[in-house]
Amino acid sequence: MDIDNNRRILVKGKIVDKEGNPLPDIIIVTSANSDPLGQTQSDASGNFRLISLDEEFDPLDVFINIDPYFSLNVDYDYSSLAYRSSVHNDRLLYDLGTIILGDKAELNLTFNNLLGDENTLSYTIKYTPANCELPLNVANPPDNCDLAAIREGNLSPISENTTVSIESILGTTVLLEYSLNFEPVQTIEIPLTNLDTNYVFEY
């Protein structure tokens, strides 16, 4: 790790839940090429100001509610956010604005093969991941990971019952796009209104 002449940068923002309530004690970490640069946590109002070291060559990453070193006390009930850079930048200020962390929710989606129907199934599951990654040093970056994660699969008439488990965010909707026997694709919306949701699709 090459520190840029002991130079400091400022990373700031505010962390709230989906209702806009401040989230205190959320860990914020800066690093470069997996080397730690700085660490702080949000205050009682959800605000944070992290004066961090700056690496001379490697790009900066900012982790919200993530423990990249397996030694920090993160809140596993909430989602997490990683801001990643692809190249080094000479910025001195990173104002991340208001960061929304949602309650984690799990979906167990079971594909139940009805014996004797001889059906084939292809599917795509689109969902909002609980662990979101966004670009840091780009113009007009996205501000969320809505439906950014995808799981795909194909099942045959002899496939065993299959359960796909995904970790998403409470209050979001999972899209199940499927084609039965190569017919046109259809879509089912699965709202995540509980922390644990079980859904069975029979084919």
What's the pLDDT tens digit per position in 69-96?
877 889 999 999 999 998 888 889 999 9
Is 92 found in the same domain as 122? Answer: no
What is the per-residue pLDDT for 3?
53
pLDDT (0 to 100) of residue 203: 94
Cβ contact 50:94 at 8 Å: no
Q: Any idea what the CATH number is for the domain that residue 41 is in?
A: 2.60.40.10
- 129-160 tens-digit pLDDT: 999 999 997 777 788 899 999 999 999 999 99
Q: Which of 76, 100, 124 is the last residue of a domain?
A: 100
Does residue 53 share a domain with residue 24? yes
**Are 93 and 130 members of one domain?**
no
d(CA 7, CA 175): 46
In the predicted model, is pLDDT for residue 1 greater than 90?
Answer: no
Q: Would you say residue 4 has pLDDT above 70?
A: no
Judge if 173 and 133 occupy the same domain: yes
Domain count, the chain: 2
Determine how many CB atoms are found less than 10 A away from the CB of residue 99: 20
Q: How confident is the model at residue 187 (pLDDT cuts 50, 70, 90)?
A: very high
Domain boundary among 84, 100, 116: 100
Same domain, 40 and 62: yes
Final residue of a structural domain among 100, 134, 152? 100
Return the CA Rg of the chain.
21
Residue 41's pLDDT is 96
SS3 56: coil
pLDDT at 173: 98
Domain match, 96 and 108 both: no
Residue 22: which domain range? 3-100
Q: Tens of pLDDT along 12-29?
A: 999 999 999 999 999 999
Q: Are 169 and 105 within 8 A, CB to CB?
A: yes
CA angle 28/31/34 to nearest 5° reads 125
Same-domain pairing of 109 and 155:
yes
pLDDT digits (tens, 9 = 90+) for 30-82: 999 888 999 999 999 999 999 999 888 889 999 999 998 877 889 999 999 99
